[in-house]
Structure 1
Amino acid sequence: MRPKRTTRGALHRIAFRTNRLEKLRTIYVRCFCGASGEKHVSPAKGFESYFLRFGDGCRLELMRRRDIAARGSAERPGLCHLAFGCRSREAVFALTERLRAEGRPVVGEPRTGGDGYFESVGEDPGGNRVE
């Protein structure tokens, strides 16, 4: 859940974890006309990512973390999470509490992430992570 000037409930981005970051980026840029941003690198966490934009719509985040295999099934390659835009920090807090009140797990409390977005993370009934 991310504050952004957006239509309420608009899908903001889809994130994939991969062990082949550059290969996935190349395919989405060459074959699907994605426009890639600069690589984000966090050496302390062994983390790298790209945001790819497709027209004016949803973005795709491709992420690699060097210790992914050692971290367990929650951090396996593949779909990582869906992220929906919120209009403000207060809306992120409110949505987090709404999820909690409905009995949904909150696996990441509201915070500013390394990519600069204010976010929290919950789980849908299928166990998928939703920011």
Structure 2
Amino acid sequence: MKIEHVAIWVKDIEKVCEFYRKYFGGVVQPLYHNPTKQFTSRFVTFESGARLEVMHRPDICLTTGNANEEHLGFAHLSLSVGSKEEVDHLTQQMSNDGIQVVGEPRTTGDGYYESVILDPEGNRVEITI
């Protein structure tokens, strides 16, 4: 068994897709639109075969309070970048680009080397080896 894809609701599909393209090398697929349901989505595919479905529908409420606080529902997306050095480099690049870093690079208690940033809509993204 493998996970086929992970889906996330967003306000701005293009901005979020561009984030995952720019920083993680994702390939943004064509826009799908269902006018009856007012639903749009794009898949972002990654070299490993993983896929992220970035979705929007105007009636989906995205208010979760403070984006820095944990909340019920989607907790985080973890993306492997291959090395400790790349975790450090990418985290620094994102910080320089004004992306909010909420967890500096570190080794966690369970042995992961990771940092945590917020994507353009406040979703937690864990950058790991």
TM-score tier (shorter): 0.3 to 0.5
TM-score, normalised by the number of residues in structure 1: 0.45
Normalising to structure 2: TM-score of the pair?
0.46
Structure holding more strand per residue = 1
Ranked by relative contact order (alpha carbons within 8 Å, sequence separation 6 or more), the top structure is 1
Q: Which has the higher helix share?
A: 1
